[in-house]
């Protein structure tokens, strides 16, 4: 049966957004697994904190490095194929995890393979969907898709923590694998590449326009785009602030909050619940950030996001020692802007370098984000081993966020333009 999408009052792009959202939810759940497993792996195998952190550091870095190349692969082969291939790679890697016996196997699976597989299901996927399907409401769409990461934590972290506590870590990771298996037919049946393939215009535009074919080299084109962008001070400010964003979120809190809570005798289920609470408020905060990005100066939004995050991190060591009420306050305020920085950063990137290259440019900026996260994931583990606590790591990250707030105001405000390549 043929469906006339053009005469439908409902824009099919919202279905694509929903599928992208579900995919990013599951990808976020995969990223949250190591923080739940860290203590269990240390106890069962006798591995050191720095060893387990090294796998997280490699995964986070590869997750970012895949960004610009994932954007190029999606441009050449299509979003659907890349999503399906990545999902299969993740299923195989997770399925092999219960059989590992050595640290190098954990590093290979959860550092290397899962880093590559999840890297194609990152924020670059959301940016690509938003740029292909939406002109109107683009900031809101980026906010919604970015919030998929928050929702993944909200749904899966408490479940994984309880499953690990009651049935063991091996059973817990099979829950994630099951979610991936269920996701595959949803992607295969419902995903569409571009509005023009079903006779639609980009939302907010009048004409149906065919996308330009990707004719560059899959490996060299992202580097050519990077070389062009690197000539701009705007690129380095966006990349630098996003480095500090990753340092203070995925790498630090996402990896080490649960172990830090363990240092204060806080049970793993409660600690995971704190991360889930952050996820709930980040779902609200990031969606609102997308809405605000459509209406206000993105530079000032970043100033407030980084500034408030920095103050929250400086407060965290005191909250850990004072009790659950203070930790709840931290979780709410920190959660509201966990990844609220993504919509304004993506908007500034698209305005500075043009819509066509936005995916690859943001991919490289996201590399900086994940590099910062990788440094924090490993570095905070080392700090904990050397000093016996995470206090120095948390406070240092807080002051770095205050620096990022000031750097955000130095980004030039400009209207959309195309960077030459």
Residue by residue, what is the 3-state secondary structure of 147-179? Answer: HHHHHHHHHHHHHHHHHHHHHCHHHHHHHHHHH
Q: How far is CA 349 from CA 230, 237, 368, 405, 416, in A?
A: 12, 11, 14, 17, 9
Q: Are 253 and 394 in contact (CB under 8 A)?
A: no
Token duo for residue 338: 């966990």
* CA-to-CA dists, residue 12 to 140, 202, 363, angstroms: 16, 10, 26
Spatial contact of 257 and 271, defined as CB atoms under 8 Å apart: yes
Around Cβ 233, how many Cβ atoms within 10 Å?
Answer: 11
Cβ burial of 185 (10 Å; 0-12, 13-18, 19+) is exposed
Q: CB 415: neighbour CB atoms within 10 A?
A: 6
Q: The tokens 């206000």 sit on which residue?
A: 296
296-354 pLDDT tens trace: 899 999 999 999 999 999 999 988 888 788 888 898 888 888 888 988 998 898 888 87
Q: Is the pLDDT of residue 359 over 90?
A: no
pLDDT value at 417 more than 50: no
Mean pLDDT of the chain: 85
Q: How high is the pLDDT of residue 415?
A: 53
Domains contained in the chain, CATH given = 10-194 (1.20.1250.20), 217-412 (1.20.1250.20)
pLDDT tens per residue across span 4-27: 556 567 889 999 999 999 999 888
Q: Write the pLDDT tens digit of every residue in 371-390.
A: 898 899 888 988 988 888 89
Does 206 or 76 have the greater pLDDT score? Answer: 76
């Amino acid at each position: 049966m043929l469906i006339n999408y053009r005469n439908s009052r409902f824009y099919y792009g919202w279905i694509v957004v929903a599928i992208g959202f579900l995919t990013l939810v599951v990808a976020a759940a995969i990223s949250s697994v190591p923080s739940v497993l860290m203590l269990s792996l240390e106890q069962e195998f006798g591995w050191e904190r720095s060893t387990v952190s090294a796998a997280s550091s490699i995964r986070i870095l590869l997750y970012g490095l895949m960004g610009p190349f994932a954007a190029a692969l999606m441009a050449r082969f299509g979003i659907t194929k890349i999503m399906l291939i990545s999902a299969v790679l993740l299923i195989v890697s997770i399925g092999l995890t219960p059989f590992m016996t050595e640290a190098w196997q954990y590093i290979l699976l959860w550092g290397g393979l899962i880093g590559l597989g999840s890297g194609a299901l990152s924020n670059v996927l959301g940016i690509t969907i938003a740029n292909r399907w939406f002109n109107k409401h683009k900031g809101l769409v980026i906010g919604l898709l970015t919030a998929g990461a928050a929702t993944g934590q909200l749904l899966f972290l408490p479940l994984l923590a309880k499953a690990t506590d009651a049935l063991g870590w091996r059973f817990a990771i099979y829950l994630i694998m099951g979610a991936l298996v269920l996701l595959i037919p949803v992607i295969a049946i419902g995903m569409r590449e571009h509005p023009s393939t079903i006779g639609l215009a980009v939302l907010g535009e009048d004409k149906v326009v065919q996308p330009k074919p990707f004719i560059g080299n899959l490996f060299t084109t992202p580097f050519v785009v990077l070389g062009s962008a690197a000539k701009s001070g705007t690129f380095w400010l966006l990349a630098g602030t996003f480095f500090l964003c990753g340092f203070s979120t995925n790498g630090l809190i996402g990896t080490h909050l649960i172990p830090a809570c363990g240092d204060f005798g806080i049970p793993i289920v409660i600690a995971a619940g704190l991360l889930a609470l952050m996820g709930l408020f980040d779902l609200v905060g990031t969606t609102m950030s997308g809405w605000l990005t459509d209406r206000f100066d993105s530079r000032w939004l970043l100033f407030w996001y980084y500034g408030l995050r920095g103050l929250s991190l400086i407060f965290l060591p005191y909250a850990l020692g004072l009790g659950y009420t203070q930790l709840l306050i931290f979780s709410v305020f920190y959660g509201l802007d966990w990844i609220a920085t993504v919509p304004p950063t993506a908007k500034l990137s698209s305005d500075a370098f043009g819509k066509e290259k936005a995916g690859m440019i943001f991919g490289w900026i996201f590399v900086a984000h994940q590099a910062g996260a990788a440094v924090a994931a490993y570095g905070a583990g080392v700090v904990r081993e050397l000093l016996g606590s995470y206090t120095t790591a948390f406070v240092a990250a807080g002051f770095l966020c205050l620096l990022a707030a000031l750097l955000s105001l130095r980004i030039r405000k400009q209207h959309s333009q195309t960077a030459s390549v």
